[in-house]
């Protein structure tokens, strides 16, 4: 069945000119994530194409309430609600587009003596498209969003309301959903891949969009030249070796002469695996508005807890960490990742690429 719903001119004008005149220079951002699935396109679209069924595959959505065939209210729990309107849907093209029309307030803060409401998501004028495309014998799901940040005022944005915050949060929303979609369809595909970095929808030379917000995770860590080939996405996860809490799993993998340190292949694999962590935990793992600092957490968590949270997922106060147990690219390098992060947390090695010995 084909459904196409055109937005009225009045609604379009309301969307286009919702920003105040003094906020005209605030850039509209674009985030896009995709995932490869082995499931055929018709099976995937039967799940993704249900506007009324986002809660069936996105773990952050508790329920979907349909006010009418074109308007849904997403219940995220704890009184957090999102109202979204379907703009277009094409079963033939396997694509649907929607926009947020209303969000509940989660906190009211004071900025220069005036109340400012923080909403469920740190975005304004948000619109999104979900599509399914053939990819070999399987399929590709592409989820994109365009938006202004929550803060449209002048001066430094309040914590959690900047363009960077908006990019980070929406990247996490997409990744968590696509990871769970992989699990629900029993696919052997890799984790979601950022097909485009966060950039303004209409970039200008005067104010380029941030480029450090969401590094694109790779579908597999490239194999070092001195090691065995990297595991394929269908490989079984490697068994986990338990390291004692408070231990130094990086011992013997780092060689330092003065301030110059080199690492071996073992930690190089951990560094490459860490690339996927930066999407939520920020550049160099120092934390973001949606996920805590890994360097701080590695000082608090013992090894079994770390393994459990990466394997089975974890719901924290500011975000949901997806489970990675079905992703061999993470699980086969879990000890490498733990050793690398411990070395970083203990101040043994700096951030960034390191020379190999």
Is residue 235 domain-resident?
no
The predicted-structure confidence for 279-301, as pLDDT tens digits, reads as follows 677 667 777 656 778 888 888 88
Is residue 93 domain-resident?
yes
The C-alpha R_g of the chain, in whole angstroms, comes to 22
Residues 161 and 35 in one domain: yes
What CATH number has the domain bearing residue 302?
1.10.760.10
Is residue 73 domain-resident?
yes
Residues 176 and 295 in one domain: no
Is residue 180 domain-resident?
yes
- Cα 60 to Cα 43: distance, rounded to the nearest angstrom: 22
200, 222, 245 - which closes a domain? 200
What CATH number has the domain bearing residue 157?
3.30.530.20
- Cα 278 to Cα 288: distance, rounded to the nearest angstrom: 9
Residues 187 and 261 in one domain: no
Residues 149 and 275 in one domain: no
Q: What is the distance in angstroms between the CA of the first residue and the CA of the last residue of the chain?
A: 60
- Cα 267 to Cα 341: distance, rounded to the nearest angstrom: 9
Residues 159 and 86 in one domain: yes
Residue pLDDT tens, the chain, 357 long? 333 333 333 333 333 334 444 444 678 999 999 999 999 999 999 999 999 999 999 999 999 999 999 999 999 999 999 999 999 999 999 999 999 999 999 999 999 899 999 999 999 999 999 999 999 999 999 999 999 999 988 889 999 999 999 999 999 999 999 999 998 886 444 556 664 444 444 433 333 444 334 444 444 444 444 444 444 443 443 333 333 334 688 888 898 887 788 898 888 888 888 877 866 776 677 776 567 788 888 888 888 888 888 888 887 655 677 887 777 778 878 888 988 899 888 888 888 777 888
In angstroms, what CA-CA distances link 347 with 5, 206, 248, 267, 279? 56, 38, 12, 14, 22
Are 185 and 39 in contact by the 8 Å Cβ rule? The answer is yes
In the structure encoding, which two tokens stand for residue 263, read together?
């690492």
138, 171, 200 - which closes a domain? 200
Strand (E) or helix (H) holding 34? strand 29-37
Distance of CA 166 to the CA centre of its chain: 11
Residues 280 and 180 in one domain: no
Is residue 47 domain-resident?
yes
Is residue 228 domain-resident?
no
| Beta-carbon count within 10 A of 261 CB | 16
Residues 64 and 150 in one domain: yes
Residues 29 and 169 in one domain: yes
Residues 179 and 38 in one domain: yes
Residues 159 and 292 in one domain: no
pLDDT score, position 50:
97
Residues 180 and 67 in one domain: yes
Residues 192 and 274 in one domain: no
- Cα 331 to Cα 99: distance, rounded to the nearest angstrom: 36
Is residue 244 domain-resident?
no
Is residue 217 domain-resident?
no
Domain count of the chain? 2
In the chain, % helix, strand, coil (3-state, to 5) comes to 25, 30, 45
- Cα 253 to Cα 78: distance, rounded to the nearest angstrom: 45
167, 200, 233 - which closes a domain? 200
* Domain boundaries, position 262: 254-356
| Beta-carbon count within 10 A of 259 CB | 6
């Amino acid at each position: 069945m084909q459904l196409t719903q055109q937005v009225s001119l009045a609604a379009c004008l309301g969307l286009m000119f919702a920003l105040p005149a003094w906020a005209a220079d605030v850039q509209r951002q674009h985030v896009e994530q995709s995932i490869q699935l082995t499931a055929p396109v018709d099976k995937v679209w039967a799940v993704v194409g249900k506007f009324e069924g986002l809660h069936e595959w996105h773990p952050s959505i508790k329920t979907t309430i349909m006010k009418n065939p074109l308007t849904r209210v997403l219940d995220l729990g704890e009184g957090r609600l999102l109202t979204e309107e379907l703009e277009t849907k094409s079963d033939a093209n396997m694509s649907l587009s929607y926009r947020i029309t209303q969000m509940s307030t989660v906190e009211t803060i004071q900025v220069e003596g005036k109340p400012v409401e923080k909403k469920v998501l740190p975005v304004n004028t948000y619109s999104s498209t979900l599509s399914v495309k053939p990819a070999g014998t399987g399929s590709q799901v592409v989820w994109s969003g365009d938006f202004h940040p929550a803060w449209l005022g002048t001066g430094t944005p309040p914590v959690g309301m900047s363009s960077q915050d908006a990019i980070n949060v929406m990247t996490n929303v997409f990744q968590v959903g696509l990871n769970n979609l992989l699990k629900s369809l029993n696919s052997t595909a890799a984790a979601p891949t950022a097909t485009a970095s966060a950039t303004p929808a209409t970039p200008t030379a005067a104010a380029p969009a941030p480029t450090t917000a969401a590094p694109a995770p790779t579908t597999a860590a490239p194999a070092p030249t001195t090691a065995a080939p990297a595991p394929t996405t269908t490989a079984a996860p490697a068994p986990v070796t338990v390291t004692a809490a408070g231990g130094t799993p990086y011992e013997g993998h780092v060689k330092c002469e003065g301030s110059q340190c080199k690492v071996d292949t073992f930690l190089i694999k951990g560094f490459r695996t860490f690339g996927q962590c930066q999407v939520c935990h920020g550049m160099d793992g120092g934390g973001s508005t949606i996920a805590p600092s890994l360097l701080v957490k590695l000082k608090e968590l013992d090894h079994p807890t770390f393994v459990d949270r990466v394997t089975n997922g974890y719901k924290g106060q500011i975000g949901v960490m997806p489970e990675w147990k079905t992703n061999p690219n993470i699980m086969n390098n879990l000890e490498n990742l733990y050793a690398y992060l411990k070395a970083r947390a203990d101040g043994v090695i700096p951030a960034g690429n390191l020379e190999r010995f």
